Amino acid sequence: MAMPGLLLLFVCAALRSHRTHRSFPLEERNDYDPNTRTKIASSAAKTERRELERSRVGREICEGCDRPPPLCVCRSLPGKLIDTSTSVLILQHPRERRRKSLSTVPLMPLVLNKCTVKVGYNFARRQLDLVAASLDKGQKPLLLFPGSNAISLDDESNGDTVKSLQCSEQLLILVDGTWAEAKRMIMQSPDLVRSCRQVQFTSDHESLYPSSLRKEPEKHCLSTLESCAHALTLLEPCSERATESKTFLEGSMRCMVEKRMQVSESRERAPRFARAGKKTFGKNKRRHEIKKELFG
C-alpha cells in the first residue's frame, strides 16, 4: 500500500509543533497495515534527524586555506602564487580526496600558480586539456611514477636527456593516492601512460610525515607534495622560483603536520568507531516511539 502524501505531511507538521501523535482517529489508524505504519514512522524519524542536521551551524573555515582555524596554514603560504616554468597536473584518486585532514594536495594550489587537480579512477588523454595542449605542441608530458622504463632525473648517466627536459617548459603529472590506488590508476589509464614520458628520481628522501600521523610503505616514500617539490628543482635546477616553491611547499606541509599534531594532543581521543549497533539502535528506538504515538 503506498503511503499517502497528505498523511506524511501531517506527521511532519506534528513533529515540528511537538504535538501528540495520537490525533489519528482509531478507524483511520486501522486502515494501515503494519508495514505501512513502519514506513510512516521511519519517514517521520528521518525528518526529525534531517531537521536536526540542518539546524546545526557549520564550523568556521579559514577563507585563505579552507581549513578550520586550529588547522590554518596561512602563515606558511607565500604572499602570492609562485609561477614556475613547469605546469603541474595532479590526478587524484577519489578516496584520497576524502582524506582532507592529512592530504597534501590541497596545499599545492595555495603555493603554485600552474597547478591543476583532476579526480577520477582512470584517465584518457582526451579528457585532460593540459595533456592535449602539450601533445599539440609536439611535447610529451612527464609522468612522475617509478618504473623500469622511467628516466631518472637525478641520474648522471641520463645527463643529456635530462638537460633536454630542463631546456623547455614541461607538464609534470603526478598520481595522488595510496601506492595500491596509484598503481591501479596507472594500469587503468594505458592511453594516458603511452602519451607520456615516465620519469622518477632515485635519491632517498625521508618524508615529513611522522609515523604517528600517516605511515608510508617505506622510509624513502614521499607524499605527492614532497615528490612534486623535489621534481621541480630537478627540472628547473637554476630557477629561483623552483627553489622558492620547494621551500613554501615543504613549509606548508610542516605547518599542516605541526597543527595536526597539536590538535591531536590537545583533545581527548574518542573511539574511532561507535559501538556496533549503537547508531542503528537509536534510529530504531525513535521509530518505535513515533509508531506507538501514531498508531497505538
Q: What is the pLDDT of residues 148-203, one digit of tens each?
A: 889 999 888 788 888 888 888 999 999 999 889 999 999 999 999 999 999 999 87
Q: Using CA atoms, how far apart are residues 87 and 112, in angstroms rounded to an integer?
A: 9
- Position 42 scores a pLDDT of 80
- Position 268 scores a pLDDT of 55
Which residues are registered as beta bridge partners of 143?
173, 198
231, 184 contact by CB (below 8 A): no
Residue 37 neighbours by CB under 8 Å, 6+ apart: 291, 294, 295
Cα–Cα distances in angstroms (integers) from residue 270 to residues 89, 264, 275, in the given order: 37, 11, 12
Q: Using CA atoms, how far apart are residues 292 and 154, in angstroms rounded to an integer?
A: 72
Does the predicted model carry a pTM greater than 0.75? no
How crowded is the C-beta side of 272, counted as CA atoms within 13 Å?
1
294, 37 contact by CB (below 8 A): yes
Strand-by-strand arrangement of the 171-176 sheet: 115-119, 87-92, 171-176, 142-144, 197-200, 151-152
Q: Is 89 helix (H, G, I), strand (E, B) or coil?
A: strand
Task: Fill in the DSSP letter of residue 67.
Answer: S
Q: State whether the Cα torsion 174-233-108-205 is positive or negative.
A: positive
User: Tens place of pLDDT for every residue, the chain, 296 residues?
Assistant: 444 444 454 445 544 444 444 445 555 555 567 787 787 778 777 777 777 776 665 678 898 998 889 899 999 999 999 999 999 999 999 888 877 778 899 999 999 999 999 999 999 988 899 999 999 999 999 999 998 889 999 888 788 888 888 888 999 999 999 889 999 999 999 999 999 999 999 877 788 877 666 665 555 578 999 999 999 999 999 899 999 999 999 999 999 999 988 887 776 555 555 565 666 777 788 778 877 776 66
